[in-house]
């Protein structure tokens, strides 16, 4: 696999479940925005990577000064996450080689650690089917009966929570997403549909995805426990 690394960050969502006055990537968190903190964490792990940031074409809140990468581009986001990733891959098709690794990371996961990021990148570099950060299911799993009751208890052995980033060779990921259509729920599911088995790389459980209002306070507590160190905003340095 190539040493050249591409990062794709879908950030075109509206975050309606947050019930906020702005998309969740622009909500304040630990003195910055969710977007700024996520990009800062990725940059700390991969300062030389090339970034594709997928944004709503009508997004007027985005501040380019929050991007710490030297080599980056803005890509129009799509209606769904998979559409945004497809757009990003198409945007770099003239530059990327088939073997170049591509890591796709949720903009709403600012708590991913540098160690997990680097361990995933190392695994992707040697795994032909790519891989993803994931955490073993720890809770008892219930299946509902469709009417508010419990149908049964599902054995949790062998079950994992899929996290991000998820990483694959550029050529493989593009082929998988083109073949996957509307059934794609994440990049790994598209690769699985080709009959391949991406590698599970166990990641930390504090790799929280901010989805609901209470997640912001939890993310701030996680970042504080991790000893958050965020470089000052470029405007602050001016």
| 59: in domain | yes
Residue 9 host element (H or E): strand 6-11
Quote the Cα angle for 125-68-28, to 5°: 110
Helix axes 81-91, 170-180, angle to 10 degrees: 140
Query: pLDDT digits over 90-116, tens only?
Result: 999 999 999 999 999 999 999 999 999
Domain residues for 213?
6-237
Backbone angles phi, psi at 164, to 5 degrees: -135, 160
| 1: in domain | no
Asked if residue 238 has pLDDT above 80, the reply is no
Cα(8)–Cα(84) distance, integer angstroms: 9
Look at 13-27, 68-82, 123-137 and tell me which has the smallest mean pLDDT: 13-27
Contact predicate 102/84, CB 8 Å? no
Of residues 236 and 126, more confidently modeled: 126
Cα(144)–Cα(196) distance, integer angstroms: 30
Q: How many domains does the chain have?
A: 1
pLDDT at 15: 65
Residue 95: half-sphere exposure toward Cβ, Cα within 13 Å: 16
Q: Which pair of structure tokens corresponds to residue 10?
A: 């879908």
pLDDT at 182: 66
CATH no. for residue 48? 3.90.550.10
Contact predicate 67/33, CB 8 Å? no
């Amino acid at each position: 696999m190539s040493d050249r690394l591409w990062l794709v960050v879908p950030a075109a969502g509206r975050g309606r479940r947050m019930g906020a006055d702005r998309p969740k990537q622009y909500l304040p968190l630990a003195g910055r925005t969710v977007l700024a903190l996520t990009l800062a964490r990725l940059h700390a792990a991969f300062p030389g990577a090339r970034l594709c940031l997928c944004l709503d074409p009508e997004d007027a809140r985005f501040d380019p000064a929050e991007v710490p990468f030297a080599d980056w581009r803005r890509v129009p986001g799509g209606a769904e996450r998979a559409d945004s990733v497809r757009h990003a891959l198409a945007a770099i098709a003239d530059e990327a080689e088939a073997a170049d690794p591509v890591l796709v990371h949720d903009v709403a996961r600012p708590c991913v650690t540098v160690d997990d990021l680097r361990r995933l990148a190392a695994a992707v570099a040697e795994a032909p089917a790519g891989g993803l950060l994931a955490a073993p299911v720890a809770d008892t799993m219930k299946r509902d009966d469709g009417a508010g009751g419990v149908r049964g208890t599902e054995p949790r052995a062998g079950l994992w929570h899929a996290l991000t980033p998820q990483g694959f060779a550029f050529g493989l990921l593009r082929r998988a997403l083109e073949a996957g259509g509307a059934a794609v729920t994440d990049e790994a599911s598209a690769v699985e549909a080709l009959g391949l088995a991406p590698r599970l790389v166990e990641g930390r459980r504090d790799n929280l995805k901010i989805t609901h209002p209470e997640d912001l306070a939890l993310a701030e507590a996680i970042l504080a426990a991790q000893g958050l160190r965020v470089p000052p905003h470029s405007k602050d340095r001016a």
